[in-house]
Amino acid sequence: MIVRPKPNFLNIMSAIKGSIAKRIALRCLMVTLLASVIVLVETLHPSYFSKVSATPFTLLGLSLSIFMSFRNNACYDRWYEGRKAWGDVMVAIRSMIRETRIIQDANERRTLLRHLCGFAYALNAKLRLENELAVSGRWLDPVPQDSTPDFSGQILQQVGQQCSTLSESGVINEWRYTIMSNHLTHLTQAQATCERIKHTPLPFAYTLLLHRTSYLFCFLLPFAMAEPLGWLTPIFTAIVSYTFFGLDAIGDELEDPFGRDENDLPIDAIVRTIEREILAALGETPLPPVLKPVDFVLG
């Protein structure tokens, strides 16, 4: 995720980090060169473009911008829902830290909280298609089988079993056990929400239609602009293509908010916050440093 101070005019015009410009530069350049060729042909043979009207492009551009706004809103909803799900993870783990203070056995509490930290690391790895065991194994004892279809969920099952054992032995009363079970349920719900977002992309046909329409619009637009605008056509075509290709690419980035693109969610930083709070609750020092943005990017 991009983290930077409020930009001034110079920053707005010169910022590259976090901008979508790098991803669409080649496409915009192709459209601009095509527009230059079309203007050159129109200059040499003006009769070729005398009957081309801009009215259909006005209607198509308006419709395309509306459809793109719907798609980008849907993609942003996925991004924000993913962030809310990780907020729920933090709330549930912080609540578990508070509820486990009643456990007098330091080793029991340490095992339980470290498993919760391992869950956060495992879920992060799962969403980013990385090895869950490799990043969470150091927090787990015992370590679940790597072959289990739901490694993160298996960690929560171990935590739930430990809470059940503590309840049966009288370390925690039934009322507190119910509360802790509810927090584990919220963690499971947050995990399911993230998995739903990760594994349910927007309908391909809808995305493909917008991709094709934006390409057709930007490639055909110079034919309508060449006659009335002349050599200003490449400039306006570049601006229009930057807008439409940019909106298209931003939607692609936000559709999967759990990756490692510059505008994706800073899950590494969230997991590090969870780790610091758990270690602080266990009285361990020194704490790992807070993750800071590197070149304005917080991972």
If one compares 290 and 60, the residue with the highest pLDDT of the two is 290
Residue 6 falls inside a structural domain: no
Token pair listed for 255: 């559709």
Provide the domain count of the chain. 1
Residue 287 falls inside a structural domain: no
Residue 11 falls inside a structural domain: no
Residue 293 falls inside a structural domain: no
Residue 299 falls inside a structural domain: no
Query: How would residue 69 be classed by pLDDT, with cut points 50, 70 and 90?
Result: confident
Proportion of the chain above pLDDT 70, given as a percent: 91
Residue 270 falls inside a structural domain: yes
Residue 207 falls inside a structural domain: yes
CB atoms within 10 A of CB 98: 12
Residue 3 falls inside a structural domain: no
Residue numbers of the domain that contains 235: 21-45+52-281
Provide the sign of the torsion angle of the four alpha carbons 13, 16, 18, 21, taken in this order.
positive
283: left (phi over 0), alpha (psi -120 to 50) or beta: left
pLDDT digits (tens, 9 = 90+) for 82-128: 999 999 999 999 999 999 999 999 999 999 999 999 999 999 999 99
pLDDT at site 52:
65
Token pair listed for 278: 């758990």
Cα(157)–Cα(184) distance, integer angstroms: 9
Among the listed residues 271, 249, 246, 247, the one whose alpha carbon sits nearest the alpha carbon of residue 258: 271
Q: Is the pTM of this model over 0.85?
A: yes
Provide the sign of the torsion angle of the four alpha carbons 69, 71, 77, 78, taken in this order.
negative
Query: How would residue 8 be classed by pLDDT, with cut points 50, 70 and 90?
Result: low
Write down the residue that tokens 């057709």 correspond to.
216
**Whether the Cβ atoms of residue 285 and residue 23 lie closer than 8 Å to each other:** no
Among the listed residues 275, 288, 13, 17, the one whose alpha carbon sits nearest the alpha carbon of residue 122: 275
